[in-house]
Structures are given as structure tokens and as C-alpha cells.
């Protein structure tokens, strides 16, 4: 059985047009038709199907919470994780440069290829075929949708904690920028005078460094709060 035959079997969709499957797994760095247009289409289908499922499965959520949950399910890192579970990497066709640099392990390439596959199945079999593939890929994720608190980034959690206690919001300041222009590191300090706490974060851009600083402050706040619910979901900063 060829690589594409194996992939087709795991997709549980026998393609009428095998060229669509080949195109879906072909990165733009390779010769021939690539998957960029299919990725665009698959992204739209994926967002609609996941939005519909979250809307129906979680009637308790408001619009903003629905948006955050959908974003958490369809972002690049979530898609790449599903692609790895699906063992998609070995099937992706890359140019020599991307091949040498380990492109099959890169989140962006894995995520784009997965979305392209959704687009290809949609074109080959229609909306219901595309929807069925999304539901198979997301079966585990949709069966155990987490509490929305888990999807709030550290800056949001810290802000809501302070606002809920009518305290002043924290102040973020870039203390240092190091490294060359293409690989800079930002050191940001998050200060809460109301809590008399300071958090510090390092990251490759200011936004991520601010999130890391807020997360650090929340980690210091958690032992003081005596409450395992509100501020201490310190499982990492979101991008």
C-alpha cells in the first residue's frame, strides 16, 4: 500500500479525485500544485464546523466565550497536535530546503496540511464529507470540552482577578531587549502595586513576554489566595 493509500484509509474517505489528496499534502516548497488554496478552504470549513459544535454542545457560554473556545480548538498548535496524532508528517511532500530543516515537524506546516486535507475532502465529497472528517479528527477534543477558565490567557486571568476585587490593574514594562534583530528576547516585568507582587517574563516578542510575566505573577499569587479556582491556572502563557 502506498503512502497516499495509507493516508486515504486513515482519512476514511476514498477519493474520487486522487489529485486532490496529492495536492493537499504538497507544501509550496515542492514542485507542482501545492496546498495553499486548499488550506484556505479547509480553514473556513473547520471554523464553521467547530463553531457549530461548540455552539450546540455548550449552551451555557456567551459569545466571547464561544469565540475563545473555538480559537483554542482550531489554532495552529491544536491543529499540529491533531496532525501528529494522525501521523500526518511523513506524508507531507516538501522541497529539499524544508526537508533538510525538519519541516515535517513544524507546527505551521502540519496545521496547514491538515486544513488542506479538510478542504480536499470537502471538494471531493461535499460538505457532509468534510464535516464528518472534522468530527473524526476532533472526536476526543469535542467529547471533553474544558471549562472556559482553562482557555483564558494569563493577562486576562490576572485582570479579572484584580477587577473582581476592585483593585488597580497591573503595569507592564519592557526592562530589556537583547539579541539580534531577527532573534530578539524581551524581558518584561508585570507589577501589581495593589498585590505588592512582581512577575517577570522572557519571550521572543513583547506580547508573549507580557503573558509570561502575568503568568509568573499569578504563580506567586496562587499560594497567597488560598483558592485553587480563580487565579492559579498557571499552565503557560498563550501567544
Quick check: 130 and 121 in contact, CB under 8 A? yes
- Say if residue 115 carries a ligand binding annotation: yes
Catalytic residue check, 36: no
Catalytic residue check, 149: no
Tell me which of 53, 98, 115, 216 is the catalytic residue.
115
Beta-sheet strand order (sheet of 185-192)? 171-178, 185-192, 197-203
Output the CA–CA distances (angstroms, integers) from residue 126 to 13, 91, 171, 219, in the order listed.
12, 23, 51, 48
Tell me which of 43, 53, 124, 216 is the catalytic residue.
43
The 8-class DSSP code of residue 101 comes to T
Angle at Cα 117 formed by Cα 116 and Cα 119, nearest 5°?
Answer: 65
Residue 144 makes CB contacts below 8 A (sequence gap 6+) with: none
- Say if residue 112 carries a ligand binding annotation: yes
Phi, psi of 37 (to 5 degrees): -70, -40
Q: Which residues of 98-118 are buried (b: 16+ CB within 10 A; e: fewer)?
A: beeeebbebbebbbbbbbbbb
Instruction: Summarize the annotated binding site as residue ranges.
Output: 39, 112, 115
Instruction: Summarize the annotated binding site for Mg(2+) as residue ranges.
Output: 39, 112, 115
User: Catalytic site residues?
Assistant: 43, 115
Amino acid at each position: 500500500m502506498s503512502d497516499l493509500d495509507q493516508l486515504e484509509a486513515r482519512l476514511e474517505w476514498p477519493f474520487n479525485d486522487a489529485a486532490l489528496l496529492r495536492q493537499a499534502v504538497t507544501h509550496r516548497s515542492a514542485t507542482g500544485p501545492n496546498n495553499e488554496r486548499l488550506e484556505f478552504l479547509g480553514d473556513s470549513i473547520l471554523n464553521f464546523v467547530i463553531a457549530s459544535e461548540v455552539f450546540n454542545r455548550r449552551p451555557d457560554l456567551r459569545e466571547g466565550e464561544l469565540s475563545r473556545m473555538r480559537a483554542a480548538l482550531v489554532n495552529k498548535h491544536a491543529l499540529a497536535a491533531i496532525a501528529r496524532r494522525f501521523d500526518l508528517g511523513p506524508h507531507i511532500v516538501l522541497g529539499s530546503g524544508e526537508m533538510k530543516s525538519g519541516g515535517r515537524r513544524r507546527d505551521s506546516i502540519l496545521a496547514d496540511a491538515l486544513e488542506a486535507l479538510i478542504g480536499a475532502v470537502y471538494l471531493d465529497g461535499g460538505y457532509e464529507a468534510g464535516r464528518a472528517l472534522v468530527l473524526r479528527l476532533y472526536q476526543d477534543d469535542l467529547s471533553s470540552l474544558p471549562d472556559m477558565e482553562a482557555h483564558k490567557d494569563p493577562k486576562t486571568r490576572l485582570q479579572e482577578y484584580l477587577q473582581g476585587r476592585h483593585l488597580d490593574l497591573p503595569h507592564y514594562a519592557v526592562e530589556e531587549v537583547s539579541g539580534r534583530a531577527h532573534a530578539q528576547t524581551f524581558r518584561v516585568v508585570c507589577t501589581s502595586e495593589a498585590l505588592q507582587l512582581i512577575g517577570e517574563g522572557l519571550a521572543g516578542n513583547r506580547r508573549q513576554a507580557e503573558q509570561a510575566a502575568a503568568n509568573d505573577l499569578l504563580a506567586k499569587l496562587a499560594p497567597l489566595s488560598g483558592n485553587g479556582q480563580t487565579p492559579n491556572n498557571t499552565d503557560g502563557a498563550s501567544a
